[in-house]
Structure 1
Amino acid sequence: MKLLLTATAAAACLTCSVAFTCSVAWPAEKPNIVLLFADDAGYADFGFQGSRQFKTPHLDELAASGVRLNQFYVTASVCGPSRAGLLTGRYQQRFGFIENNVPGIMSPNGRFSGEEMGLPLDLPTMGNHLQSLGYRTAIFGKWHMGEADRFHPTKRGFDEFFGFRGGARSFFAYPTKRMPNLGRRLERGYGDFKEHEGYLTDALADEACDYIERSKDKPFFAYVSFNAVHTPMEPDPKDREEFPSLQGKRRQVAQMTLSLDRACGQIIHKLNQLGLAETTLVVFANDNGGPTDANASSNYPLAGTKATQLEGGIRVPGMIVWPGKLAPGSEYPHPVSTLDLLPTFVKAAGGEPASMDGLDGVDLLPYLTGSLSERPHPTLYWQMDSRGSIRDGDWKMMRFPDRPAYLFNLADDPSEQNNLADTHPELLKSLYEKLFAWELELQRPLFMLRRQEEGWVSTLFDTYRKPPPQND
């Protein structure tokens, strides 16, 4: 399944230890771009991340074909905001997308309908940018950027859609007489609702491969947004005998990860089969840390889980493969972000990210090839409700509404076991100030978590009393 390198590039790479710093002719044509995106996977639950329990041979081989991103961050520790940052190349807090867009969230007008929740329509997405550069674009799987028709992916930069609008659904077809709400129904294109056959992870890979086959004569972008290994915990029955040494949810997530790996391998095999591997940029990443309570994933050696701003909630496995441009079997040690994927793709496609307004991400190629030696991001930020975190160099400060701040030196303590806040008060103060200065640039939330206890809805900026029900 390994992506192929040209003989010249492969030979040149033998002398490169971290990045592809050698002088090799890059292909003149625009690369195809494939983004393989997992859901709720554990940081340690892949062979290329050191797992001895889980089996991920295809992703392990893919990782050996390119650059592993050792400090790869998402912009949020939950699905929706993380994907909003990915698709726009901007911190999602800049446009008020700080919570998952799910039922039970309140919009400023006091309504609880999902109609109000989605990626703002004035923001171009990764799909829009690549369409403008001549790409055919498609998304397969989870959208989670708004269930209302106006937020539909085919209206947000994607020519094709096969998936579901919401944030989670069954991996098996729903019975015709008991169809779920709109967000969970499988949809082809716009409005063609029909359930799949078999196991959904396999169906997404099949559809992605069909799209690649049909698009091979024109540059294409495939955003394969798997819902594996998100709940519900529903492994493929053909894997029921796998991982006999594991039990309960841990065994189930191992089986679902095996299905995810097979699906990724199927897509890579299709690229090789069609002779497209050498001209395709492939990224594998995950949307947030694993939720160890819900699916028994492992984020070892990182502390924290999904929904926290500890490293286990915001640092994810990642790799980028581009034959002839990036050295196989290499690693990049500095912090990078899913914010960077949009400008990286745009630059690879022949666009100019520097001319795009409002981007927080950067083109990673000069850093991964060694042309630039400094860190792509001296500082990174996270914020949700009144919780906020900042990573400045190797120092990370975490602010809470109900306890003193934490301060960690991630170079010495990546597992965040040694809180240094008491011993570095001046540094703590300066990081507080830097985080607050960033927060002053942000927009008020577009929708907020519903606090049912006393009818209050709280955000970082204000506290709103829940309005009375609307009669219209």
Structure 2
Amino acid sequence: MMKSITIFIFCCLTSVFAYSQDKPNIVLLFSDDAGYADFGFHGSKTMKTPNLDKLAKQGVKFTQAYVSDPTCGPSRAGLITGRYQQRFGFEENNVPGFMSKVSAADGWDMGVPTEEVTLADYLKKQGYATAFYGKWHLGGADKFHPTKRGFDEFYGFRGGARSYFPYSDLPPSKMDLMEKGFGNYQEPAKYLTDALATEAVDFIKRKHKEKQPFFAMLSFNAVHTPMDATPEDLAKFPNLTGKRKIVAAMTLALDRACGKIIDQLKKLGIEDNTIIVFTNDNGGPTDKNASVNYPLSGTKSNHLEGGIRVPFLMKWPGKLKANTTYTNPISTMDLLPTFYAAAGGDVSAIQNIDGVNLTPFITGIDNAKPHETLFWKKDARGVIRKGDFKLIRFPDRPAELYNIAEDISESNNIADAHPELVKSLFKELFEWELTLERPRWMLKKEFEKVDIDRMDAYRDQSKFLD
């Protein structure tokens, strides 16, 4: 009798472990302020990105991947919730911000509202161990901390930028300090991009040993300013100078860190049961870090393609065909439902999300487009892309209309030739705006001019090619 009971218990435990292992592990590699053109898989001959180039050949490259905003914090808010962040008032500014002074929420009170359900929350419901490494930027107050938003583990900083080297003196804000877990401040022992990869590798090894499916989000601050690189990485680019040399070295470190994660998955024998996604938070700010977005126009903080279209790779062995390209528009908001469905969740039961499960579209089960229409908004600026047409509404000039399929660089404004289409898209954009929440905080209007001026000055990205 005891032998039968023992065998029964063993079989039950075995089935539990097998079930857990059947769920794919998920790794999200997320860079910061990288230029669209600054990767080998996008044709760069200057940047050295061998690991990401290999990932592109092993998976699917998306040519029309968009973020929900051309700036760091709002873009992350859209990704982490699967929703247009304007639906919960996260529209105007990175957080925490101390420049608004006209809002219901200012400073430390700015963040993704605690009632919003995050990607990590959803995956924990499916039995996943969850960890976040790097730049948070979704709220500085303790109530917004990653460990209170669905992540079991955290090693990173709450703010939007910091040194890549350990601080010897305290920085102006604790937002810039590296934090392990909750409130345990611990500066890295080495260059930060490498340190984040080391922490993530440790998490992956531990969870594999425990036979628990895991979700690891590496939210690199590379290649966001400050412009910090190691002497060894800088030496790899003797023909470059100035910021371009530094951003090349920072990109090399980013690629190395991604490679370290990918190599560990292979070493553990779980590469074939792991979804890996690499993408970026917004377009590169050419004026700040010498990034290049060609053939797209514009930069971070504006709604030209160079501000909102980003590199995007996805590898899922056995599910997605290697070395293929997907050309229909997608959004980083789609990551939440895609990952949740892969984890065995019922996406149809999720209420009020704007992202979609991409798997049926990528695999050809559904031949429709994931999104026929996409929207963007910041203050008076608004954008609608419907099919191949994209309307941009400005506060200081007439609206512009482009056929993105025929004019990827947005050099031929066809608004005057299509007045009825302009009117129709204006109306649809306004109808979408009526569904949004009022912004919880707002910038002073002077900062809107900064974004417009940057767009005008760096619109033609061909001038910045190596």
Q: Name the TM-score, length of structure 1 as normaliser.
A: 0.88
Letter aligned with residue 415 of structure 2: A
**Amino acid in structure 1 at the alignment position of 2:348:** A
Conserved in 2, the CA contact under 8 Å of 1:73 and 1:315?
Answer: yes
Alignment of 1:146-295 (within 5 A): 146-175=139-168, 177-216=169-208, 217-295=211-289
Are the aligned partners of 1:104 and 1:449 in contact in 2 as well (CA < 8 Å)? no
Q: CA deviation at 1:107?
A: 6.2
CA shift digits 1:265-303 (9 cap, x unpaired): 000000000001000000000000000000010000000
Gapped regions of structure 1 (runs ≥ 5)? 1-26, 454-472
2:126 aligned to 107, 129, 133, which one?
A: 133
Distance across 1 between alignment mates of 2:445 and 2:281: 25
Return structure 1 stretches of 4+ with deviation > 4 angstroms: 107-112
Counterpart residue number, 2:455: none
Amino acid at match of 1:264: C
How many residues in Structure 1 have an aligned counterpart in Structure 2?
Answer: 425
Secondary structure of the residue aligned to 1:197 is coil
Q: Which amino acid aligns with 2:201?
A: C
**What SS class does the counterpart of residue 94 from structure 1 fall into?**
helix
2:30 maps to: 37
For 1:350 and 1:201, locate their aligned partners in 2 and report how far apart those are by CA, in whole Å.
32
1: distance between equivalents of 2:435 and 2:47? 42
SS in 2 for 1:193: coil
Q: Which residue of 1 aligns with 2:410?
A: 416
Cα distance change of structure 1 residues 75 and 110 upon mapping to structure 2, 3 Å threshold: closer
Q: Equivalent residue of 2:63, what SS? A: strand
Deviations 1:56-108 (A, max 9, x none): 00000011110001100000000000000000000000000012113334366
State yes or no: 1:375 paired with 2:369: yes
In the alignment, the residues of structure 2 paired with residue 318 and residue 74 of structure 1 have an alpha-carbon distance, to the nearest angstrom, of: 10
Residue matched to 1:17: none
- Aligned residue type for 1:72: A
Q: Does 1:308 align with 2:311?
A: no
Letter aligned with residue 190 of structure 2: G
Contact 1:76/1:382, CA 8 A, preserved across alignment: yes
Structure 2 residue matching 1:307: 3-state secondary structure: coil
Q: Is the 8 A contact 1:164 1:184 kept in 2?
A: yes
* Separation in structure 2 between the aligned mates of residue 394 and residue 111 of structure 1, nearest angstrom: 37
Q: Where do 1:314-463 residues align within 5 Å?
A: 314-451=308-445
Deviations 1:401-456 (A, max 9, x none): 11000000011101100000000000000000010000000000011113479xxx
RMSD over aligned Cα, in angstroms?
1.4
Matched-pair contact (CA < 8 Å) for 1:89–1:343 = yes
In 1, distance between residues paired with 2:206 and 2:157?
22
Letter in structure 1 aligned against 2:44: S
State the alpha-carbon separation in 2 of the partners of residues 357 and 436 from structure 1: 23
Task: Give the Å deviation of 1:237.
Answer: 2.1
Distance 1:110 1:221 in 2: 34
Partner of 2:78: 85
Q: Per-residue deviation at 1:122? A: 0.1
The AA in structure 2 aligned to 1:255 is: A
Distance 2:105 2:385 in 1: 36
SS at match of 1:178: coil
Match of 2:52 among 32, 54, 59: 59
- 8 Å CA contact 2:96–2:111 kept in 1: the answer is no
Aligned-partner Cα distance in 2 for 1:368–1:423: 35
How many angstroms apart in 1 are the aligned matches of 2:56 and 2:105? 45
Contact 2:21 2:212 in 1 (8 A): no
Which one has the bigger helix percentage? 2
AA in 1 matched with 2:255: D
Shift of 1:341: 0.4
8 Å CA contact 1:35–1:282 kept in 2: the answer is yes
Structure 2: distance between partners of 1:229 and 1:104: 24
8 Å Cα contact 1:104/1:450 also seen in 2? no
- Residue 459 of structure 2: aligned partner: none
Q: 1-side partners of 2:317 and 2:105: how far apart?
A: 50
Kept in 2: contact 1:101–1:118 (CA 8 A): yes
Aligned letter for 1:158? F
2-side partners of 1:440 and 1:334: how far apart? Answer: 27
Partner secondary structure for residue 246 of structure 1 = coil
Q: Secondary structure at the match of 2:64?
A: strand
**Is the contact between residue 376 and residue 384 of structure 2 (CA under 8 Å) also seen in structure 1?**
yes
Deviations 1:149-173 (A, max 9, x none): 1100000000000000001100000
Q: Which residue of 1 aligns with 2:138?
A: 145
Offset of residue 109 of structure 1: 5.3
Contact kept, 8 Å, 2:105 with 2:440, in 1: the verdict is no
| Normalised TM-score (structure 2) | 0.89
Distance 1:90 1:347, change over 3 A: same
Q: Is the 1:108–1:446 Cα contact (8 Å) retained in structure 2?
A: no
Cα distance in structure 2, aligned partners of 1:381 and 1:375: 15
Deviation string, structure 1 residues 125-177 (Cα, Å, up to 9, x no partner) = 000000011000000000000011110000000000000000110000001x4
- Once residues 409 and 130 of structure 1 are traced to their aligned partners in structure 2, the CA distance between those partners, rounded to angstroms, is 38
Q: Matches of 1:268 and 1:200 in 2, distance apart? A: 18
% same residue = 58
1:398 is paired with a residue of what secondary structure? strand
Aligned residue in 1 for 2:5: none
Distance, in Å, in 1 between the alignment partners of 2:176 and 2:29 is: 21
Residues 296-341 of structure 1 show CA distances to partners (whole Å, capped at 9, x for unaligned) of: 1000000000001000000000011000000000000100000100
